[in-house]
Chain A
């Protein structure tokens, strides 16, 4: 273990500012949210704030609309993440192969573009490109003889569209993380393995995979958290519609809290979301990171 014990004051000096900052900025509002969630607290009826115990929680837990939104969020994660990992791994392996270095540098640079793009802009771009009439995508599809697709106005298509943009934006991220992981494999081990077997997946499974696990874990944690947080892109692309077909959990809470102004109910929803998030990240970090360490 490469760590030393230090004086308490030193410890506080190093850690204190961060802990204090996050406590003040993160925890105080959180406590306030808990307080709000136990009240009838409507922004447009602040005269009638009253303590109602766990009624808001009971409403949330039995509200099918809430769980449908939650379900959609996990459906998105369940479909998009495997595709992102598969494509990302493919791209990483491709870029990891020797040769064509100019083109590969170019590819690496273009991979940076989607992940740096402002999320809200992605949604706006989606509106412009996938518009049924003025959109370039339907035009391109037309070239290969496909009839115009109603992307934004059809519930299933709209959800597919969300998945598409999520994949567009985050596959590069996964690819770059895995590529970075591949470069940590000691060259001599990889060479030796490649001499021994011709099958690339054997190399992948037994030689490269162990070095990819930390990256994959990070991807899993970050993507899960970010999907639960996903708001900007969907907000600007579909606003949750048509119907409720793309109303993810953050959009729903935003709608209840900032459009119907029922802050008490929205806080209860947010806190349930937070609990789910914490349980999931606990699971990921404890299970997966232990395996690594």
Chain B
């Protein structure tokens, strides 16, 4: 009897779980579904009221934004900037993170705090002075400017995540290597860095996503030749017409690469999100 009564309860709980999970999935995925379908509609169809769910898809918006409006070039710009700044952030950040994790020195905590604080600074604080300085040295509208300014939020992320990662590498390995007379840099390069790779990968993924998605600096510091994809998407927002299809096609083109990238990397991503749990 007891078992019989418990069984439907478990079933219900299972059913409840399935329902909740499906709800979560729908909640997360539906906007994407809508974005992609809208991008396949003609202008007249996109502005139909009430919205149409079944229709004959057209790729006209994609061909138009890619060939006529130059979205392809901005995607390449975004790629160049995001990859370069990520590599730079890793190259600079890993040794610093290692030092914060392994070396003893005065003011360590304050230094760590200062690094992290850079992540908190609103881009609006730096955008204009940076613009004024950059115009003086003639670097406006170049990839380099974005690569450098994106370090202000990528470097802290790399340092934050990697410091924790280096701390979790067994210290005995360091001691053994030191006894053999290895230099600090060799220990870092050959022993600790390979072991900290998961953390490095996660911070690289984050750097890439943040840089790929950034808008404010891109709006202020680029105009034409270095314009990134998000800045491009925004520039369709002329109050004169609502090219919903084109806007959504551009949006899809921007979002798809980073989505694929993060789905592939989602295992590392979720692991990396322990955020200093390993202390």
Contact = CB atoms under 8 A, between A and B. Distances in A.
A215 B275 contact: yes
Contact of B215 (A4, A112, A120): A120
B49 A133 contact: yes
Interface stretch (A18-26, A54-62, A151-159, A195-203): A18-26
B21 interface: yes
B215 A231 contact: yes
B14 interface: yes
- By secondary structure, the B interface counts as helix
A56 to B, nearest CB: 14
Contacts of A120: 213, 215, 230, 233-234
Contact of B103 (A4, A179, A184): A4
A225 B234 contact: no
Interface in A130-152: 133-136, 138-139, 142
Contact of A108 (B155, B248, B266): B266
A53 to B, nearest CB: 19
Interface in B111-161: 111, 113, 115-130, 132-133, 148-149, 151-152, 155, 159
B251 A124 contact: yes
Interface string A28-60: 111011001000000000000000000000000
Interface string B1-39: 000000000000010011011101101110110110010
Contacts of B244: 128, 134
A116 B212 CA distance: 10
A253 B124 contact: yes
B230 A285 contact: no
A178 B245 CA distance: 37
B274 interface: yes
Contacts of B111: 15, 19
Contacts of A249: 122
Assign chain A's interface to a size class: 35 or more
A187 interface: no
B96 interface: yes
A64 interface: no
B261 to A, nearest CB: 8
B247 interface: yes
Contact of A177 (B32, B133, B275): B275
A15 B96 contact: yes
Given A113-B259, A125-B251, A236-B237, A214 B151 contact: no
Contact of B273 (A30, A129, A215, A232): A215
A120 B259 CA distance: 15
Given A107-B24, A134-B51, A142-B50, A18 B121 contact: no
B104 A274 contact: no
Contact of A134 (B48, B104, B119): B48
B133 A254 contact: no
Nearest to B91: A17
A138 B49 CA distance: 10
B32 A250 contact: no
B28 A119 contact: no
A11 B100 CA distance: 10
B185 interface: yes
A181 interface: yes
A246 interface: no
A118 interface: yes
B276 A218 contact: yes
Contact of A277 (B27, B50, B120): B120
A104 B21 contact: yes
Contact of B14 (A13, A99, A179): A99
B115 A33 contact: no
A181 B266 contact: no
A13 B46 CA distance: 57
B174 interface: yes
A229 B14 CA distance: 41
Given A211-B277, A277-B121, A106 B25 contact: yes
B147 to A, nearest CB: 10
Contact of A111 (B24, B98, B261): B24
B278 interface: yes
Given A25-B149, A104-B21, A110-B25, 13 more contacts: A4-B103, A15-B95, A18-B92, A22-B118, A94-B21, A107-B25, A110-B28, A116-B258, A120-B234, A134-B51, A168-B28, A173-B273, A257-B128
20 contacts: A3-B102, A5-B105, A18-B92, A29-B129, A30-B126, A104-B21, A109-B263, A111-B28, A113-B32, A118-B213, A119-B215, A121-B35, A218-B275, A236-B234, A253-B122, A253-B124, A266-B124, A270-B122, A277-B120, A292-B276
6 tightest Cβ-Cβ pairs between the two chains A and B: A218-B275, A29-B129, A2-B171, A14-B99, A18-B96, A32-B129
